[in-house]
Amino acid sequence: MATEDNKQLLHLVFGGELEALDGTNFKDLDALDMVGIYPNYALAYNAWKSKAQSTVDNAHMRYFIVHIHRLMEPEEPK
């Protein structure tokens, strides 16, 4: 069972080729690169950085980190 100290904070890393440099619409949703799901931000960031650096020659390629844990347990409004 996860405690506050070792709670999984899941993050998804994915990317693909964008239609335009100033947007976030992908050219082909079937071609999205699902890099993986990671148990914390540090590991997700390392995966994101590696993928982003490997595609630096294609200006339309973008990779993103999604904070899945925030979607699974949204904060209560104060």
- For position 78, what pLDDT does the model report? 57
Spell out where 1-78 has E strands.
11-17, 33-38, 61-67
**Whole-structure pTM over 0.85, yes or no?**
no
Please give the domain boundaries of the chain with CATH numbers for all domains.
11-72 (3.30.70.2400)
Confidence of residue 9 (pLDDT cuts 50, 70, 90): very high
Amino acid at 60: H
pLDDT tens per residue across span 31-43: 999 999 999 999 9
For 12-19, what is the mean pLDDT?
97
- What SS3 state is found at 48? helix
Is-contact 33 18, C-beta < 8 A?
no
pLDDT tens per residue across span 47-57: 999 999 999 99
14 C-beta neighbours (distance < 10 Å), count: 18
C-alpha gyration radius of the chain: 15
* Average confidence score pLDDT of the chain: 90
